[in-house]
Structure 1
Amino acid sequence: MEVDPPPIEPYTYGLLSVAQVVTGDGRWQMGGVEYSTDACAQGGRVEGSCPVPADGGGTSHDKPLAESLDWVTGGAPFTVYHRAECNAVAFTDPQERALARLRVVEHREVEKAFSLQLGAADARQPLGTAAVPLLVALGALEHNAALYYGGQPTLHAPRWTQPHWTAARLVSQQGPELRTELESRVAFGGGYYDDPSAPADPAPAEGEFWLYATGTVTARRSQPFVHEAFDPPTNTRVAIAERTYALDHDCYVAAVLVTVAPAGGGA
């Protein structure tokens, strides 16, 4: 006897749980977005409250040019899809079946795309390329973000690393999100690669992964849409459900190589 499948629990604590999700069609679907931001502005300071003449001209309060406005170019649009295909006999709702399948896979596929964007970014490496324990890596990124980004960073880690964070009490639940003690958002992506710069390769070494920190992530996405067709010679109905995305993160991105292997002294 055929019965309905069991319900699927919603995907939690991945990229879309920490991103600003904007749903709706727009020109961004043609080529993504770009915007100017002051979030990575670097100013300075002067000593005292009164200028003091300098020997070489000017005063002690002459202020050199500081970094300010940045232009952010988001990732190119991409489309996540799934299909449903079956004999037309008793196949009454292929569009709904295709949409249900799309909902199952889209979180993972979006995370794969964003992970590749991180791998292609010119990320700061505050600790170089040496693998360090998770506690050291988290502290380095939280500190680096405070120096170079004006807001709370978002951290990105492969989903298999989550038990190490929990064992070390590094994250806590705040509504639908997980955050560090300093309230940085944390995404545990099932689609994140251990090494986003070489996604076809295995992890750099057993128990190692790249931990990334970015500025605020925005996920623009269209409404899901479905195309349906019928093939008379085979009496087949097919429906393809799709949704277009474009992802960007604010001006900051940094990465630290983490080891959680016992020999590496992981947390």
Structure 2
Amino acid sequence: MPHLVEELADLPPGFFDGRRSDRLFVRCIHTEWRHSNCATCAPLPSAVTKCRRCTGGEPVEVRTRIGAVCARHRRWHYAGADCDLGRSADIFRAERCLTGTLWERGIGPDTGELELATTLIRASDLRREDESHRTALARHYPEAVRLVALTTEPWAERFLANTNIGPIQVAALVEAAVNAVTAGTSHDIDAVRASFHAEGRETVIGLDQPMRLRYGQSPSLGELGRRILTLAPRVRATLLRHTDARKPPARQPRPSSRHAQR
């Protein structure tokens, strides 16, 4: 549709393609498989609603490097909302993390990781099971962003990508990560980083007391971990999505609508 509008409005090709700085980072051949916002391979994020104060009250969607919060007007604007945030420092830190660290891992507001994170956090509170993603994200934005940031760090990526590690070990990692980010202390988060390692066919889990599990053995899970276990395949697929390498898309010449009408 954007390319059709370009032709009908006599706009230059690529007018709606956005700035390179707006693109989500990917691994591709053009940068030797490092994360970058490659002009050829990196996609634009999904369209998100912009702050109503910034648009003069008009409903506007943009595909740019933006999250769920307008720091200028201190408003929550995700999915068309318009809520005052006052001086919620945690929320503004989360926004900077999303549009900075996470963006450079290829993670945006609607790439799936934040939705998974809110689902995992809600799993610890059965009273909120029927809550919509939109409502849950507004309540848990700082925790959801911290959880995504923690579980997409290089050590977690290596742990989740190890095919010798089964779903129960994955659930144990995610359970510990959820508990750490909801506790809100850097000590708990550092403990998770230091506690999960894979060494060959052994998984080393060092929370509480170190355990060395041979391939096929499983750690014990708490109630939250048992709920997370049912999501283990989704957890792995979603949190490893940003590691996928991208081949240059095949570009087909676009037939002119004017020529097609002749």
* TM-score normalised to structure 2 length: 0.23
- Structure having the larger proportion of residues in strand: 1
- Structure having the larger proportion of residues in helix: 2
Q: Which has the higher contact order (CA 8 A, sep 6+)?
A: 1
* TM-score normalised to structure 1 length: 0.22
Q: Name the larger-Rg structure.
A: 1
